[in-house]
Structure 1
């Protein structure tokens, strides 16, 4: 097993798009609720994020009423 590099895939998939659709919520509304820019949420949504703060993760999960394991899953 090789360690993740800053430019390679992380092996983690963010299900933000799916969770937003299930809740009929826009990225704009989530941005308002959690105080995170739409650009940064888009990076996360499109699996381009390299890291996420625990406080950000908690705020997103609170706003979406979900568990961390529903938001972040192992990529297949």
Structure 2
């Protein structure tokens, strides 16, 4: 039987851009997730969900924590 690698507890983050792109980021912290997000979307602005909706439509994005990574787990990152 193959030896399993040790599973490190990171976090799952989800993002959604104003143009419809959605995805998940696996990182150890919110700060690391932000860095990874900006590698792909350097010109986007990460919005606070409490900000005005109109600001989101001006090249905005939401980035939020979904939960802690677990093996054999299904994550509902976009319930809307």
TM-score > 0.5, shorter chain as reference: no
Which structure has the higher relative contact order (CA within 8 Å, separation 6+)?
1
More strand by share: 2
